[in-house]
Structure 1
């Protein structure tokens, strides 16, 4: 006759569960599920204990997920092993889960765990073809509401990889920003201080916003875009609303904060009488050092007119890097064209001719030309087929649209950008 028995886990048994948890870890095995998950399951799912007198000598906790049952904690005190306690607890759990429609009971165990005899004896098969994968959720539940109030969001993880071409810019951003921010421990070992604020500058339509979103996607951090025009409508005024926005961002563990067209609120100060925007510029200059104090943050400011910024805005100590983002290279133009050409039209299309014809085009220019060619082809198909749409845009349609597109970046603007790279960029 055994001197132990199985019963439902009680609230007074939690000390015993914690003792088993620590014993489990002391043997060099890390439980698959976190202690917080196990404790939560003891309250709302199925949990049994093996007790000898008043002592808890074994605990098994399981939860139901549709027709699948999962054992989230399974432990027997070392001094009480090989007495059938494990098998008895598993049978009790299975019995309690059966009314819930469970058709399969599974358990994940760490590779280091050697005491698996109870599992095999209880009829569990070792599914060696299965592997356990895990990822952390990048934002806490309590942060979600704050993020919504700030107008922020989590971006799809593939944005960074979907930026075609621009390999030089991507390499700089990957090495200078993503690497130290994503692995601060590694950065610390090499004496690297992760960046806190950067400026992206370049001609209009060159993809600065796309890169900012790509960085947030790559880091898996919330993306918050601050719109000065919206803040200006607040009764608190632009400076007051800007200050409050940054204070609220303090409630997030991680964040990529993006201000586009920052020249609107960081204009050169001076002149008589002083510009009404000087107070806003002063406020922003005070906010940046405070923002930089807390890790897990990155401020990205973008501008089309870097020469319009106040000189104090760009100094060392406020911004770690001032990075140029220019017109797309040939590989990037090819990726952009492939993204805007329909699969039907892409078949047999001479993309190289389009890439060559759009040298000096911004991504926005290419998008406009692609959409214009598609619209012309649609109208032609309807007119020529009596309302039955057929065919798609041809190479001539695309080249005609390219020839009729007025480029965003003039030769003079492009030349100024090259000068700014030499005199202002900081990599």
Structure 2
């Protein structure tokens, strides 16, 4: 048996390090860093190997982040473990290689149950107790960032799902039909559930279909890509080509929720001769939906205010897994919407139950308008009070009451927001959704919904 010596990593050593990583990555001792990360650090960061009889028998790989050094792989083959000095020489060599970086510490994360702790603790590494290792996967890998930007996609903030208050029936449907099968494919497979590929959301305008689509993307931690029919091209041929092109680019992403709002613009009923100007686009979209269904990791969400205007071929089984209704906000949702726009300083003085009851039948946008209108009226009232107070002070004591305070000065409760102000704003707020719209929506649920 030849002498073991330590040297820097060479590109020719990569296969040996892969074999060593695979040998040590067992079900009972899984490596903290993936093989791809170890390979990347071998090539771009710092690595040393132990060689015996021209064979790599051990390796140490490190990377630096600011003043912190991390060992991303420390592995000894069975043959190397019998020679106690190998681990010490290997760690010392890696430390010397990284020392010029000005590191303050060199750290290592080890899987529980590993048998390499002694090799580390006898070489100056100290065990830190009461620590937990946490990680999360990035929604988009580096190689996809430019592509995501090219298709107009973005990563949405987490917790959008939790921020959708109320609407429990709609959320339960989306959770059970969309989120769970896509987020837990193994569980879905156990029950014979095929993860969805395309879903249609329908309902009156302003009911939150876009909000729900974004919430699903946030819940899945997938990028969100919105396709705007109005931006696809000038002529019918250009629109079809643009639509096909953007779907081809989206198809290169590993994961994405693709959203098309007001899809009726490019998927309306096709009517005989002469063909409608958008018939070619509708035909193209039907083909794309069929192709889309063959891709894992992608979900197409279309939304429409006029589901009965869609081409019949769109709603057939096999294109959209579900056709889900999204209605007006329920009482819990309306309470949350009011809470979003009522200033926190006066919230305890506002009768939210009255506002919730009086805003039944309004969309989230309607409620926002009423809340903002009430706030604007209160601000205008306060400004008028301040102007009156200024005039009173300029006119002397004639404008003051017996307490010496100018009537209508700031701080007067008349300038504060009250429940009556919100009710007054509701009186002049026109409902976006009419009784006729609601009746039609209920008919559409009976005729077209697929839950």
TM-score by shorter chain over 0.5: yes
Asked whether 1:241 is paired with 2:242, we answer yes
**1:418 counterpart residue number:** 442
Q: Secondary structure at the match of 1:161?
A: helix
**1:369 counterpart residue number:** 370
The worse-fitting range, judged by mean Cα deviation, of 44-53 and 303-312 is: 44-53
CA deviations 1:37-89 (Å, max 9, x no partner) are 22222233222223345343322111111111111111222233251321232
Aligned with residue 422 of structure 2, among 394, 398, 401: 398
Q: Secondary structure at the match of 1:60?
A: strand
Distance change in 2, residues 1:313/1:100 (3 Å): same
Distance change in 2, residues 1:80/1:183 (3 Å): same
Distance change in 2, residues 1:8/1:355 (3 Å): same
Distance change in 2, residues 1:394/1:285 (3 Å): same
The worse-fitting range, judged by mean Cα deviation, of 339-348 and 384-393 is: 384-393
Larger radius of gyration: 2
Q: Secondary structure at the match of 1:113?
A: coil
Unpaired segments ≥5 residues, structure 1? none
**2:342 counterpart residue number:** 341
Unpaired segments ≥5 residues, structure 2? 391-408
Asked whether 1:408 is paired with 2:409, we answer no
**1:118 counterpart residue number:** 119
Q: Secondary structure at the match of 2:345?
A: helix
Q: Secondary structure at the match of 2:50?
A: strand
Q: Give distance in 2, aligned partners of 1:376 and 1:29.
A: 66
Q: Secondary structure at the match of 2:160?
A: coil
Cα deviation for residue 310 of structure 1 reads: 1.9
Distance change in 2, residues 1:246/1:234 (3 Å): farther
Cα deviation for residue 366 of structure 1 reads: 0.5
The worse-fitting range, judged by mean Cα deviation, of 10-19 and 210-219 is: 10-19
**1:38 counterpart residue number:** 38
Q: Give distance in 2, aligned partners of 1:322 and 1:235.
A: 27
Q: Give distance in 2, aligned partners of 1:6 and 1:250.
A: 46
**2:307 counterpart residue number:** 306
**1:24 counterpart residue number:** 24
Q: How does 1:248-327 map to 2 (within 5 A)?
A: 248-270=249-271, 273-327=274-328
Q: Give distance in 2, aligned partners of 1:325 and 1:24.
A: 51
Q: Give distance in 2, aligned partners of 1:23 and 1:276.
A: 62
Q: Indicate conservation of the 8 Å contact 2:349/2:418, yes or no.
A: no
The worse-fitting range, judged by mean Cα deviation, of 212-221 and 245-254 is: 245-254
**1:50 counterpart residue number:** 50
CA deviations 1:157-180 (Å, max 9, x no partner) are 211111111011000000011111
Distance change in 2, residues 1:111/1:331 (3 Å): same
Cα deviation for residue 283 of structure 1 reads: 2.4
Q: Indicate conservation of the 8 Å contact 1:201/1:304, yes or no.
A: yes
Q: Indicate conservation of the 8 Å contact 1:84/1:118, yes or no.
A: no
Distance change in 2, residues 1:54/1:162 (3 Å): same
**1:79 counterpart residue number:** 79
The worse-fitting range, judged by mean Cα deviation, of 384-393 and 254-263 is: 384-393
**2:139 counterpart residue number:** 138
Q: TM-score, length-normalised on structure 1?
A: 0.93
Q: Give distance in 1, aligned partners of 2:357 and 2:419.
A: 13
Cα deviation for residue 14 of structure 1 reads: 3.3
**2:394 counterpart residue number:** none
Q: Indicate conservation of the 8 Å contact 2:236/2:278, yes or no.
A: no
Q: Indicate conservation of the 8 Å contact 2:217/2:257, yes or no.
A: yes
Q: Secondary structure at the match of 2:144?
A: helix
